[in-house]
Amino acid sequence: MKIGYSRISTDDQNLHLQKDALAKAGCEKFFDDVISGSKSKRPGLDGLIEFARESDIIVVWRLDRLGRSMKDLINLVSTLEDKGIQIISLNESIDTSTGTGKLFFHIFGAIAEFERNLIVERTQAGLAAARARGRKGGRPKSLNKAKRELAVKLYHEKEKTVKEVCDVMGISKPTLYKYIEESAL
């Protein structure tokens, strides 16, 4: 049986392109995830691995949908091969049931990992350059300094519950606790 697996990283994206290609490739069953490939727990992939049986073929749109590092991809493919399950990647035209397919799997996997590493390096360099120009990243504080101090004061006075302090200040509990921690420094 051909089983399709698709993954997107954020809710902003959609799975249509991948699912259409998998259906066209003859997949009869589908598993998908809306989660970063760097996460070790992916419910769709975990379900796929549990579902797949010997002689099944897992079809993906691209290798990077399966994992973010070459090590993870190799471990996954080894685990699947031990169970008698093969992988086909449509974009890279890789079929791990052949020796050539296995070779191409390793080559393309290494290239995909290299590309991801370049993206990370460029992002980090851009952030460092922005910091050097005085730009500070991250979400701005939801309250100015005086209001943060007031929130901490209300918390320490213990006349209101944490929920009441949060409601009055218009912030979440984690935000309040972050302000409390910052004030203790």
**109 CB neighbour count, 10 Å cutoff:** 24
**Residues recognised as catalytic:** 9
Contact 100, 94 (CB under 8 A): no
Which tokens go with 165?
Answer: 């302090």
3-class state of residue 184 by DSSP: helix
Tell me the residue type at 115: E
Which two three-digit tokens encode residue 50? 């549990």
